[in-house]
């Protein structure tokens, strides 16, 4: 439903949320998220422009979250790469419709409202706190197992991390 | 939230639903839907390929719905131009995730499920039967007024049409 860019942005942010204190080099991020490196570079520029990630160039450089993972909603990530807005007035500019949307645009608005609610209420941190689920992007069957991200071993979601 | 192509496809189908028995020439459709003609032509090709509209070339030609408006859901229209599917298995192909989606892909799937429900339950006919709302694409403040579509005067949604 969402664009590939949106999917990739969400993957990248979920991946950075796994190791919030570390700068993750773009090649590592590309490998972990399974996103083509050139495509990922463009997505990271959008996320950076939106103030969601911070980067450092050069040796030892990479990207990390610009804020704590519980302070970034999935909706912010989506909105950094695509428009997700309620419809406030007739998109065709028909004067007599104005804010009294026709049934077509009410339906589209209803869908937008639902997506905004679903993604607006979930933070990146929420993705990492369900012990019954595997971690995003991680190859592990045991949620309590230690997993390897960016070369570091970190505890899985079931380990009280 | 949806692509411009999806918005335009929905507009075109809503417009054709207004005069289901008539072939609407593409220029008329472009004017009514306020979609650039070249862009609209491509959207109409997609709708035609999906079997949602039928056309005839030449003088007096144009497009009409391929089925009755109460037999075409908004979801079918969306799906003719974009992918709107539930996520059944890990998009990254991580073997240990399989169908036990991680929280990120569960969220995306939750949004997809909601959109599928909203658009799957609404037909094109449903867009034209709410007397309290203006008709899609039509410049009228009186839902019971007669309106002009494709050169013909037809009764508005409040007139029991």
The answer to whether A107 contacts chain B (CB < 8 Å) is yes
A-contacting residues in B 10-39 (Cβ below 8 Å): 10-11, 14, 33-34
Least confident of B55-59, B91-95, B104-108: B91-95
The CA distance from B69 to B43, in Å, is 18
Q: What distance in Å separates the CA atoms of residue B146 and residue A95, rounded to the nearest whole number? A: 17
Find the helix or strand (DSSP H, E) in which B62 lies: strand B62-65
Domain boundaries, chain B: 4-150
Q: Which residues of A touch B18 (CB under 8 A)?
A: none
Q: What distance in Å separates the CA atoms of residue B52 and residue B72, rounded to the nearest whole number?
A: 8
Classify B51 in phi/psi space as left (phi over 0), alpha (psi -120 to 50) or beta: left
Cα separation, B153 vs A74, whole angstroms? 47
Q: How far is Cα A99 from Cα B54, in angstroms, rounded to an integer?
A: 33
* B148 has pLDDT over 80: no
Task: Report CB contact under 8 Å: B102, A127.
Answer: yes
Residue A152 pLDDT > 90, yes or no? no
Average the pLDDT over B15-30 and give the result: 93
Question: For the stretch B51-69, what's the b/e string if a residue is b when 16 or more beta carbons lie within 10 angstroms of its beta carbon?
Answer: ebbebeeeeeebbbbbeeb
Cα-only R_g, chain B: 18
- A-chain residues within 8 Å CB-CB of B106? 133
Q: Specify the 3-state DSSP secondary structure of B159.
A: helix
- A66-100 tens-digit pLDDT: 999 999 999 999 999 999 999 998 888 888 777 88
Q: Residue A55 has what pLDDT?
A: 94
Residue A73 and residue A53: Cα distance in Å, rounded?
13
**pLDDT for A71:** 97
Closest CA to B11 of B34, B27, B28: B34
Q: Which residues of B touch A141 (CB under 8 A)?
A: 96
Number of Cβ within 10 Å of residue B88's Cβ equals 10
Query: Is A83 in the B-facing interface, judged by CB distances under 8 Å?
Result: yes
Pick the CATH number of A4-156 from 3.30.70.20, 1.10.10.10, 3.30.200.20, 3.40.1350.10: 1.10.10.10
CATH of domain B4-150: 1.10.10.10
pTM of the model: 0.84
Cβ within 8 Å, pair A1-B118: no
Q: Which residue of A has its CA nearest to B10?
A: A104
Contacts of A31 (CB under 8 A, 6+ apart): none
What ipTM goes with this model? 0.85
Tally helices (H) and strands (E) across chain A: 5, 4
Cβ neighbours of A34 in B, within 8 Å: 92-93
Tens digit of each residue's pLDDT (9 = 90 or more) over A11-60: 999 999 998 889 999 999 999 999 999 999 999 999 999 999 999 988 88
Q: Does A84 touch chain B if contact means CB atoms closer than 8 Å?
A: yes
Torsion of CA A52, A56, A59, A65, to 10 degrees: -30
């Amino acid at each position: 439903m969402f664009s590939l860019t949106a999917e990739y942005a969400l993957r990248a942010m979920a991946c950075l949320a796994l190791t919030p204190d570390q700068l993750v080099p773009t090649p590592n991020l590309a490998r972990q998220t399974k996103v083509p490196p050139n495509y990922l570079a463009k997505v990271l520029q959008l996320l950076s422009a939106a103030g969601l990630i911070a980067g450092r160039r050069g040796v030892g450089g990479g990207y990390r979250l610009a804020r704590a993972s519980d302070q970034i909603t999935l909706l912010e990530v989506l909105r950094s790469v695509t428009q997700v807005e309620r419809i406030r007035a007739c998109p065709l500019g028909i004067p007599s419709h104005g804010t009294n949307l026709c049934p077509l645009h009410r339906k589209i608005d209803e869908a937008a409202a639902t997506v905004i609610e679903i993604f607006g209420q979930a933070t990146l941190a929420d993705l990492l706190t369900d012990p019954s689920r595997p971690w995003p992007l991680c190859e592990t069957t045991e949620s309590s197992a230690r997993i390897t991200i960016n070369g570091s071993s970190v505890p899985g979601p079931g380990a009280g991390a």
